[in-house]
């Protein structure tokens, strides 16, 4: 993978995925390089071959099988931006964005590859000791180690300062007690980054990050949570009952956990925006195709002016989403995206996606309410985008601080 500065060479234009494949969006995308597009072909083939055929199986099981993780590792689809010394390919965030887009275009839900690559592994890479990085990161890239991060609790979601899980030092060990909920990869995970208070009296300054292996005594997984959408994405409760880990499992410095979380949340929120924009594109195309074959009152649904005007309006909104995401993607590939900008793009794309999908579903009529149609799946699978990574209300609060 090319590790040079982000952006395409002068004169290089990459068509939108939907434009190039389906003829919906009509502007060139210049944010990706040739190596990104080569990676896109690998990602697309993997999604079509290894993931789409297993979607129903994963939905029924409520999780993705381990073999798919290992296959993804063998094809270089995990932790692409890790340095080669830790098993990565030395890529950049552009490769992550490409993979997220391909999953969104295909409507595949379940594999938490982005959680592994873009959210949890960076905490270890940027804050871990040399020993921690050598021990864990190669397995993260190969798919042998599945990561999770345990932030949310039954009484603390977006307000991380209110967490009650503790990691109290006892000699050369931390003793962890508490409960976490809504944990993605909670069932599959081998290693969890636990957000806990090492000093319960210090507020945000008492928050630390501790690595917990899931085979330690006292750790247990709760129930698989029954979600309205994303049924193949395993989400669970986690419990810590006097779980002992060595002090060497502390990630970074004690009391710096809240600061570490703030440093990485911009990327977590932005990757959600990348997926939202791509899903909107895909569903616009699907609805255009549906309206051109659906007959109503003796003519195609597409031939009604109201239908064409509605689709035109949504196309304009989806185009604006894509252009915003590409602008911020170019910035983030150079690590210049701010927390406020990430909040802006997450708020805009996820709220727009929700509105667009509601209107696109309406154009399907009764069939839009049937789960066998992709629009229905998209409607329920993407609703959580306005919640996880920080709710829309939290994004507004962050943006308002600089008004």
Secondary structure, 3-state, 224-263: ECCCCCCCCCCEEEEEEEEEEEEHHHEECCCCCHHHHHHH
Contact 394, 388 (CB under 8 A): no
281 phi and psi angles, rounded to 5 deg: -60, -50
Indicate the burial class of 71 (C-beta count within 10 angstroms; 0-12, 13-18, 19 or more): middle
The gap from C-alpha 141 to its chain's centroid, in whole angstroms, comes to 17
Tokens of 356: 């667009």
Question: DSSP states of 16-72 as a string?
Answer: -HHHHHHS---SEE-S--HHHHHHHHHHHHHIIIIIGGGHHHHHHHTS--HHHHHHH
HSE on the CB side for 337, CA within 13 Å?
30
HSE on the CB side for 60, CA within 13 Å?
4
Among 37, 153, 268, 352, the one annotated catalytic: 268
Q: Report the SS3 class of residue 192.
A: strand
User: Quick one: residue 145, left, alpha or beta (phi over 0 = left, psi -120 to 50 = alpha)?
Assistant: beta
Q: How crowded is residue 201: how many other Cβ atoms within 10 Å of its Cβ?
A: 7
For residue 128, give the nearest of 248, 246, 215 by alpha carbon.
248
Residue position matching structure tokens 């950049």? 92
Calpha distance 383→362 (Å, rounded) = 16
Tokens of 36: 């990104």
Calpha distance 101→80 (Å, rounded) = 15
**Residue 268 appears among annotated catalytic residues:** yes
**∠ CA(29), CA(32), CA(36), 5° rounding?**
135
Q: Which residues are part of the catalytic machinery?
A: 268
């Amino acid at each position: 993978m090319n590790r040079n500065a982000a952006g395409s060479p002068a004169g290089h234009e990459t068509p939108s995925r939907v434009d190039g494949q389906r003829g919906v969006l009509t502007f060139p995308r210049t944010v990706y390089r040739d190596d990104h597009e080569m990676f896109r072909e690998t990602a697309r083939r993997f999604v079509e071959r290894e993931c789409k055929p297993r979607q129903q199986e994963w939905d029924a099981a409520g999780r993705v099988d381990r073999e798919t993780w290992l296959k993804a590792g063998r094809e270089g689809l995990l932790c692409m931006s890790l340095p080669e010394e830790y098993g990565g390919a030395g890529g950049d965030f552009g490769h992550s964005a490409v993979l997220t887009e391909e999953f969104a275009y295909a409507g595949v839900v379940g594999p938490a590859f982005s959680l592994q690559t873009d959210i949890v592994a960076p905490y270890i890479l940027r804050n871990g000791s040399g020993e921690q990085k050598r021990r864990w990161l190669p397995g993260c890239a190969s798919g042998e180690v599945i990561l999770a991060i345990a932030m949310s609790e039954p009484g603390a979601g977006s307000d991380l300062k209110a967490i009650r899980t503790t990691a109290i030092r006892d000699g050369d060990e931390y003793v962890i007690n508490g409960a976490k909920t809504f944990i993605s990869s909670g069932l599959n995970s081998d290693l969890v980054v636990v957000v806990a208070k090492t000093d319960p009296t210090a507020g945000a300054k008492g928050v630390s990050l501790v690595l917990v292996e899931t085979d330690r005594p006292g750790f247990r997984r709760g129930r698989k949570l029954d979600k309205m959408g994303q049924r193949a994405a395993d989400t669970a409760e986690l419990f810590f009952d006097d779980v002992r880990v060595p002090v060497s499992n502390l990630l970074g410095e004690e009391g710096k956990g809240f600061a570490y979380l703030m440093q990485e949340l911009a990327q977590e929120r932005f990757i959600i925006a990348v997926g939202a924009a791509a899903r909107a594109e895909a569903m616009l195309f699907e609805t255009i195709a549906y309206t051109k074959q659906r007959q109503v009152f003796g003519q195609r649904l597409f031939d009604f002016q109201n239908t064409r005007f509605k689709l035109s309006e949504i196309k304009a909104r989806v185009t604006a989403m894509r252009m915003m995401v590409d602008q911020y993607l170019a910035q983030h590939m150079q690590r210049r995206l701010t927390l406020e900008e990430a909040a802006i793009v997450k708020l805009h794309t996820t709220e727009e996606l929700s509105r667009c999908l509601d209107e696109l579903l309406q154009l399907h009529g009764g069939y839009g309410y049937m789960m066998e149609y992709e629009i229905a799946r998209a409607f329920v699978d993407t609703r959580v985008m306005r919640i996880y990574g920080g709710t829309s209300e939290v994004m507004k609060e962050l943006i308002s601080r600089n008004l």
